[in-house]
Each structure stands twice: as C-alpha cells, then as structure tokens.
C-alpha cells in the first residue's frame, strides 16, 4: 500500500471516534437525518435481503438521479436481484425516497472510516458495486476490493485540478483506481486524465 494511503488510513482510524459528535452537530445544523444518522456509521437501518445484491452509489442529487435508469433496467433484467442505493446528502435521500421503486433499499453512505466502512460492507455483502461519483473514498473502495467485491466506476469524471492533486500521489492514485474492475469515463478529457 502506498505511503499516502497508509497515512490516510491511520488518520481516519485516529479521528473516527470523533465522528458521532460531528454527526450530531450536523444533525443540529439540518445536514443529517436524526432518525438515520447511524447509517453514516455503517449501522444498517434495515435487514439485508437474501440472495445477490447490487450496490449503486452516488453522493449528491445529480449523481443519484443518474442511477434511477440503472435501477429500472436492473429490475427489468433481473427481478431476483436486491438493489441497494447509497447516497451522501440529505437532499439526495429525500429525492430518492420519492423516486426509487418499491423494494429498492436506500441507505446513507458510511463515513470513510475503517470501522464504519467495515460495518457497512459486513452487513450488506454486495455482489457488485457501481459508483457514479467524482469523490473517491479510499477506505470504502479498498475495503470492498479486499472483500472481493467487483467494482465499477461509471460516468467517471475528473477535473484537471483533481488530476493535478492526484498526480502528487501517483502510487495512491494507481492503487485506488486499480481497485475498480471497470472504469467508464464520462468524456475523452476525463479518460485522458484518469489514464
């Protein structure tokens, strides 16, 4: 593992015990759902259905809305599959609660601490993970890879500024992007930057 990723993992492990207090403060600011804040710590709000489970992840409203056609196609092609959609914002969760078909599960994505991500993955045990986002969370992605969960990064985009930032840590970038079995760039510029 790259030195940068080791440092990130150590820092998140050290600061993760502060997460409940920070989440409580976010609840008071109206940025988290008080009834579901434990989901951010990897504590599931519902039981995992039996059988194969596809996990779709986006952070904000635009990314999660782009998942709705994927949900519809997956349900049409494989009605036997359970589908879990995770998002990171209160607004995206509110919209998904109105737009997701019955039977599709929504949970808040866990914070990127080692304990929270392990609890999330241990509970849900996804058969496949599809990420549609520009923010890459190392603990979540690497823990999923370590569990043998196939991962795809769909509609991947990266700005030049982000690419320049990752260029300072090339080994970490290679390891993190290498955790994905498939990366589908949004455009030619993102494809070149990801390469």
63 included as an active-site residue: yes
Determine the length of the chain. 195
Residue 64 exposed, middle or buried by CB count within 10 Å (0-12, 13-18, 19+): buried
Strands 128-131 and 182-185: unpaired
CB distance 132 to 166 below 8 Å: no
| Active-site option among 16, 32, 39, 63 | 63
d(CA 93, CA 39): 12
Locate tokens 């995206």: which residue? 92
CB distance 145 to 40 below 8 Å: no
User: Could you count the other beta carbons within 10 Å of the beta carbon of residue 186?
Assistant: 15
* Residues with catalytic roles: 63
């Amino acid at each position: 593992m790259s030195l940068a990723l080791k440092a990130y993992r150590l820092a998140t492990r050290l600061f993760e015990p502060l997460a409940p207090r920070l989440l409580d403060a976010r609840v008071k600011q109206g940025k988290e759902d008080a009834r579901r804040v434990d989901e951010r710590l990897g504590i599931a709000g519902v039981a995992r259905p039996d059988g194969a489970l596809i996990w779709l992840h986006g952070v904000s409203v635009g990314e999660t809305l782009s998942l709705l056609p994927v949900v519809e196609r997956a349900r049409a092609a494989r009605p036997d599959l359970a589908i879990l959609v995770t998002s990171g914002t209160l607004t995206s969760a509110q919209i998904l609660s109105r737009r997701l078909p019955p039977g599709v599960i929504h949970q808040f994505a866990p914070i990127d601490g080692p304990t929270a991500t392990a609890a999330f993955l241990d509970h849900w045990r996804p058969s496949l993970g599809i990420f549609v986002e520009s923010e890459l969370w190392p603990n979540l992605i690497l823990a999923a890879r370590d569990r043998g969960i196939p991962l795809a990064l769909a509609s991947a985009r990266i700005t030049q500024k982000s690419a320049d930032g990752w260029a300072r840590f090339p080994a970490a970038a290679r390891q993190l992007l290498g955790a994905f079995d498939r990366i589908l760039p949004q455009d030619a510029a993102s494809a070149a930057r990801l390469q």
